[in-house]
Amino acid sequence: MTQKSIAKILITGPFNAGKTTLIRYVSDEQTSGKDVQATDALAQYKSMTTVGLDFGILHVDEELDVHLFGTPGQARFNFMWKILSKGALGTIFLIDSSSQRAIDEAKKMYQFYRELSDMPIIIGATKRDLPDAKDLDALALELDTGDTPIIPCDTRKPDDSRLLVLSLLEEIITRATPPNEDEFELSLD
Partner 1 sequence: MSSHPPSSAKFEQLNMLRTAIMQKQTGVLSFTSASGKRGMIQIATGNIIGDKGSIDDIAILLSEPVESCIWRESSIENTEDWQEATHAISQAVSDTHWNTSALLALKLLFSKLPPVRIRMIPIHRYGYKDGISYLMLHHQSLRTEKFTLLDFLNETSESKELERRIKVLVLGYCLGLITAIPQQQAATKNKNSKVGIASRILRRIRGM
Q: 11, 22, 58, 109: which one contacts partner 1 (CB under 8 A)?
A: 58
Answer yes or no whether residue 156 interacts with partner 1 by CB under 8 A.
Answer: no
| Gap between the Cα atoms of 57 and 65, Å rounded | 7
Answer yes or no whether residue 180 interacts with partner 1 by CB under 8 A.
Answer: yes
Answer yes or no whether residue 162 interacts with partner 1 by CB under 8 A.
Answer: yes
51 or 166: CB nearest partner 1:
166
Do the bridges between strand 90-96 and strand 5-12 make them parallel or antiparallel, or are there none, so unpaired?
parallel
Answer yes or no whether residue 169 interacts with partner 1 by CB under 8 A.
Answer: yes
What is the sign, positive or negative, of the torsion defined by CA atoms of 40, 45, 50, 52?
A: negative
Task: Identify residues 27-56 at the interface with partner 1 (CB under 8 A).
Answer: none
78 or 111: CB nearest partner 1:
111
By CB under 8 A, the count of residues binding partner 1 is 46
Nearest Cα neighbor of 73 from 47, 94, 100 is 94
Q: How far is the CB of 53 from partner 1 (least distance, A)?
A: 20
DSSP 44-93: GT-SEEEES-EEEEEEEETTEEEEEEEPP-SGGGTHHHHHHHTT-SEEEE
Task: Identify residues 91-120 at the interface with partner 1 (CB under 8 A).
Answer: none
Query: CA–CA distance from 69 to each of 26, 55, 73, 144 (Å)?
Result: 12, 5, 12, 25
Answer yes or no whether residue 61 interacts with partner 1 by CB under 8 A.
Answer: yes
- Note the residues at the interface with partner 1 (CB under 8 A): 5, 7, 26, 58-61, 64, 66, 89, 122, 136-137, 140, 145, 147-152, 158, 162-163, 165-167, 169-174, 176-188
